Chain A
C-alpha cells in the first residue's frame, strides 16, 4: 500500500508492536497489524476499551515507541522527523507539566521549543491562556492547579504552534461538563479550520458528537472503522422520519405499512441508537472472535457497593445530560414523569451557573477551575471563536504551518 502524504495525515500499514520482557521474549502484542488512515481535515476517533492499544498507537505515532513491524507515516514522514513535530500538537492522557512553572512560562517554554519567534510567542501565549480560561491564574505555579486547570494548560500547549494535526488522548478527562463542551466546540472549530484531529476517548458520546470517522480497537486490532453515520446506520431497517404524529395518525400509518412488511417487525416510536450500544456490540463481537485481551476485561457495576443519593442535585443532572457514562447509560432511561429531579433543562442550569459566576470567585476557593471561569453558552462560543479567529492565521485547509520553521 503506498504511503500517500497528500491524502493521509496519519497512515499506518500493518503496524505491530510487541512488548518484550528482559529476555527479549514476546510478552504482549499491544498493537497488531494496525492499518489506519486519517484523512486531511477530518476528526478521527480511536475508540477502544482499556488496554486495547490506543495509547500505544499514539506513542508509535509520536516516535516514543518503535514499531516491531509495519510502517508509520505522520504528515507523510517518519514520526521522529523533527519537521513533523513542528506541525503537530499532542495532548497526552494525563497532563504532565512542570510544577514549578506558571501557565505563561509553560506555554512560553513549549512555544520556544516549537521555534516560535518572540513576538509570535507573546501573542499566542496570552491569547491561548485567555482561550482556555486561565487568564486570572496565569502567574500561579502549576503545582497549585487543579486537574481540570492543568488539563486546560495541556490543551493550550498542544495548540501553541498552531498545529496541522492534533493528537488528543482523552481530551475531556478531568474537565467539568462545561469544560468538556468547550473542548468539543474547540475541536469542531479547529476542524472547520482544516486541522486534522486524531482523538482517543472512552467517552463515546463526546466522540460521537465530534468525530467524522471512528475506528474501534480491541486487543491491538482495528475491528471496525468507518464514518460515524455509516456505522450507526442500521441498513436492515428502514426509518421514515416524520414530525410527531397524533395517536390516530400512528394507527393509520401502521395499517398502511402492514402491506409492506410483517406487522411484528414494524415499530413506530422514536428511534435512538447511541454510539455506546454500537461500541459495546462491536466489542462483544470482537471478544467472541478473539477471546484473548491484553488489558482489562469488562467489569460489572455492583450497585450494592454504592449508595444511591436522593434526590439528585442539579449538578448530577448536568452530569447525566452531558457526560453519559457507560454505566448510567446502560440503565433504562428514567421515565420523564418521574418527579424527583427538578425539571430543569441543561440550558437552564447553564444559564443559572452563568449568572452565578458573574459574582467574583470566593477567596476561599481560588483554585476552583472550571465552572466560574468557563464562559458558557453562546457568549462563550462567540468569545472562544473570536480568540480562535485571532490565533488561526491560516485559510481553511491551509497547507504549511508557518509557525514551525
Chain B
C-alpha cells in the first residue's frame, strides 16, 4: 500500500470512529439510552487507535517528533521545568503545616504537587505548541523541510507527538517526585510514632491513629457512592395524604396557580389544580426528608458496596449539613448509627459537628452486610437547637476503598496528560494560521473562556443576578444573554471541569479507569482529534514563506 493510500485509510478510519462516537453520544442523550455508549466506545477505540498509531508512527512524523524533543532538551526548557518542580514540591512539607495532622499535610502536598504539575506542563505546552511552528516559519527552516518528502500535516503531527513525548517524560518525573515526597512524609511520621516511648501509650495511639487516618483517607483510592433514593412508596404516601388539603388551599383566589386561571370547564380546572398540588408536594417531600428538626432523625441506605474482604478496612461516610440558624457557629451534637439491624454489627458515635463543613466518619467495614448494604441513621439530639438541613444531592456520600495510592496517582497523572494533550492541540491549531504572539494569546483566551464558562454557569445556577431588582429590563437582558452564551460555550467547549485529578487524588478518592477513558475519549480524541484535523487541513492549504526576502 502506498503511503498516501495508507494515510487516507487511517484518516478515514479515525474520522469515521469520531463520527460514530459523536452520533452514539448524541443518540444516548436524546433517547436517554446511556447503555449504547460503552459498546460503541469499545468498537470505535479498536478502530481509532490503530489509525492513530499508523498516522503517528509514520517515519517523517517520528523524525519531526524526535527533532522537537531534541529542541526541548537542547534549549534546556525541559530541565528548567524539572528544576522548578524539584524546588517547589519537595520544599513544601517544610513550609506547610496544614491542620497539624499527617492526613492534612499529605492532602495539601499531593493536591499542590498535582496542581503545580498541571500548571507547569500547561504553560510549557502552550509555549511549545504555539512557538515551535512559528519559529520554524520565522527562521525559515520550514523551507528546507518543505523541500523534503514530508507533507505539511505530518510536520504538525510530528510536533504534537514531540510535545506529548516531552510531557509524558516530565509527567513521569513529576509523579515520581510526588510519590517520593509522600513516601518520605509517611516514613517520617512512622519513625516519629515508633520513637514515642511505650509508657506514653495514649500519645502513641494518637500517632498511630493519625497514620491510619492518613492511609485510609488520603493514601487510597476510594469510590464514591450516593445513598439510594427514598422509596417511591414514601413519596406516594405523602402525596396521597396531603393532596386533598393542598387542592382546597389552591382553590383560594390568592393562591390559584397561574396555569389554572381563566379555565371555565370545572373538571379541567380541578385536574390542573391537582397536578400543581402534586408537583408542590413532591418538591416539599424532597425538602422535608432533607430537614431534620431537633429530636428527629433521618435514615439513608447505601447499597451495592463491594467492600474488600479485608475486614481491617474502614469505609468512610462523608457528610455536610446546614443549620437553619444561619448565624450559628456552634457545633451541634448529633448521633450517628451504622449497621443493618439483625444482620451486622452496629456502631454508633455521639459527637458535635460544625454545620457547613465536610466531615468524615470512619466506619468499620463489618457494618456492611453480605449483600453490600449499609444503613446509616442520624439524629439531631439536642432540643432547642436549629434544624439540620441536608442538601438534596451529595450532602452525604460513602467512600469505599477500592485501590491504593500509587495506582490512583498514575491515573490522576493520566488525566493531567489528557488535559495537556488538548492544550498542545489547541496551541498547534492556533499556530497553524496565526503568528506570534497572537496564537498563544488566542489559545490562552480560549482556555480561560473554557474554565470561566463553567464557573459562570455554576453561579447562574446558584441564582446570580446582575441587579437586585430582578424585574429591571437591563438585568433581564444581561442575564438572558449570559445564560445563552454560557450555555452555548458550555455545550461546545471540552468539559474540563468534569476532571479534577488534584482534588480526587489528594482526598483519596478514586480516579477510576472509566473516568480516564471518558476523558481520553471526550477531550483527547473528540475535541483534540477534530481540532487537530482542522489545524492540519488549514496548514496544508496555507501559503508559507510569503515574505519575499
**Residues of A at under 8 Å CB distance from B?**
19, 30, 51, 55-56, 59, 62-66, 82-83, 85-86, 88-90, 92-94, 96-98, 100-101, 105, 109-110, 112-115, 141, 157-158, 161, 167, 404
Contacts and interface: CB of A to CB of B under 8 A. Distances in A.
Contacts of A158: 147
Interface string B122-158: 0000000000000000011101111111110000000
Q: Which 4 A-B pairs have the closest CB atoms?
A: A90-B147, A100-B74, A96-B140, A113-B148
Interface stretch (B13-21, B63-71, B331-339): B63-71
22 contacts: A55-B549, A63-B146, A65-B543, A65-B546, A66-B543, A85-B150, A92-B144, A96-B139, A96-B143, A97-B141, A98-B67, A98-B141, A101-B74, A105-B70, A110-B144, A112-B59, A113-B63, A113-B64, A113-B145, A113-B149, A114-B148, A115-B59
A101 B406 CA distance: 38
Given A55-B548, A64-B543, A100-B74, A85 B143 contact: no
B143 A113 contact: no
B445 interface: no
B156 to A, nearest CB: 15
B439 to A, nearest CB: 18
Contact of A82 (B66, B149, B546, B548): B149
A187 B459 CA distance: 72
A96 B546 contact: no
Contacts of B139: 96
A64 B144 contact: no
Interface residues of B, number: 30
B548 A56 contact: yes
B86 interface: no
A251 to B, nearest CB: 56
A137 to B, nearest CB: 17
A245 B140 CA distance: 57
A123 B282 CA distance: 82
A177 B548 CA distance: 27
A115 B61 CA distance: 12
B6 to A, nearest CB: 12
B242 to A, nearest CB: 70
Nearest to A61: B147
B60 interface: yes
B544 A64 contact: yes
B545 interface: yes
Given A62-B146, A92-B144, 13 more contacts: A55-B549, A59-B143, A65-B546, A82-B151, A85-B146, A93-B549, A96-B143, A110-B148, A113-B145, A113-B149, A114-B149, A161-B148, A167-B147
A82 B143 contact: no
Contacts of B70: 100-101, 105
Contacts of B140: 92, 94, 96
B475 to A, nearest CB: 41
A197 to B, nearest CB: 14
B3 A82 contact: yes
B5 interface: no
A86 B543 contact: no
B149 A83 contact: yes
A271 to B, nearest CB: 38
A11 B548 CA distance: 22
Contact of A85 (B4, B67, B74, B147): B147
A64 B545 contact: yes
Contacts of A98: 67, 71, 141
B147 A65 contact: no
A30 B63 contact: no
A94 B144 contact: no
A120 B104 CA distance: 60
A105 B3 CA distance: 26
B31 interface: no
Interface in B139-186: 139-141, 143-151
B548 A30 contact: yes
B144 A86 contact: no
Nearest to A109: B67
A97 B545 CA distance: 16
A312 B66 CA distance: 50
B546 A19 contact: yes
B1 interface: no
A19 B144 CA distance: 22
A56 B545 CA distance: 9
B75 interface: yes
Interface in B497-549: 543-546, 548-549
Nearest to B145: A113
A94 B75 contact: no
B384 to A, nearest CB: 76
Contacts of B75: 100
Given A64-B544, A100-B71, A109 B141 contact: no
Contacts of B64: 113
A85 B144 CA distance: 11
A65 B74 CA distance: 32
Interface string B70-95: 11001100000000000000000000
B101 to A, nearest CB: 48
Contacts of A59: 143, 545
Contacts of A64: 143, 146, 543-545
A92 B60 contact: no
A82 B150 contact: yes
A56 B546 CA distance: 9
Contact of A92 (B63, B66, B143): B143
Contacts of B545: 59, 64-65
A88 B59 contact: no
A182 to B, nearest CB: 21
B144 A96 contact: yes
A112 B140 CA distance: 19
A113 B74 contact: no
A85 B151 CA distance: 10
Contact of A115 (B141, B149, B544): B149
Nearest to B143: A92
Nearest to B3: A82
Interface in B280-297: none
A25 to B, nearest CB: 15
A56 B146 CA distance: 15
B144 A90 contact: yes
Contacts of B4: 82
Contacts of A96: 139-141, 143-144
A83 B149 CA distance: 7
A94 B139 CA distance: 10
Contact of B147 (A19, A89, A109): A89
A113 B62 CA distance: 9
Contacts of B544: 64
Nearest to A86: B149
Contact of B63 (A65, A93, A109, A157): A109
Contacts of A62: 143, 146-147
A225 B151 CA distance: 34
Contacts of B146: 62-64, 85
Contacts of A85: 146-150
A218 to B, nearest CB: 15
Contacts of A66: 543
B144 to A, nearest CB: 6
Contacts of B543: 64-66
A390 to B, nearest CB: 22
The interface centre, meaning the residue of B63, B64, B71, B548 with most chain A CB atoms within 10 A of its CB, is B548
A19 B545 CA distance: 12
A59 B64 CA distance: 22
Nearest to B62: A112
Contacts of B143: 59, 62, 64, 90, 92, 96
A94 B141 CA distance: 10
Of the listed residues B4, B141, B148, B543, the one surrounded by the most CB atoms of chain A closer than 10 A to its CB is B148
B432 to A, nearest CB: 16
A96 B143 CA distance: 8
A340 to B, nearest CB: 38
A86 B66 CA distance: 20
